Amino acid sequence: MAAVFSPNCNRIATGSYDRTTKLWDAQTGKDQRTLAGHGGQAIRVAFRPDGKCLASASADGTVRFWDAGSTRR
C-alpha cells in the first residue's frame, strides 16, 4: 500500500494490507525486518531525516514509531 526509500537510499520501508511494515535492503531486495502491531492495513510509511526512526500509519487510525536503525527482527 505504501513504499519509501530511506534518506540514504540503502533501505526501503513498505506498508502492507497484512497490517505489517517491512524494511528491505534496497540493493539485494531481501527482507530485513517485519514490524507488526497495527490493527488495520499499514497505509503510509515515512523515515525521519536521519533514517533512524520509521513511522507507519494504519487504516485503524494509529501511528507507530519504530527503531529503523537496527536490522534485528
- E strand or H helix that includes residue 57: strand 53-58
Residue 69 has pLDDT above 60, yes or no: yes
Strands 20-25 and 2-5: unpaired
pLDDT at 70: 65
Report the pLDDT averaged over residues 23-32: 95
CA atoms within 13 A on the CB side of 13: 27
Phi-psi sector, 19: left (phi>0), alpha (psi -120 to 50), beta: left
pLDDT digits (tens, 9 = 90+) for 29-60: 999 999 998 999 999 999 999 999 999 999 99
Q: SS3 for 23?
A: strand
pLDDT at 73: 44
CATH no. of 2-67? 2.40.10
pTM for the model stands at 0.88
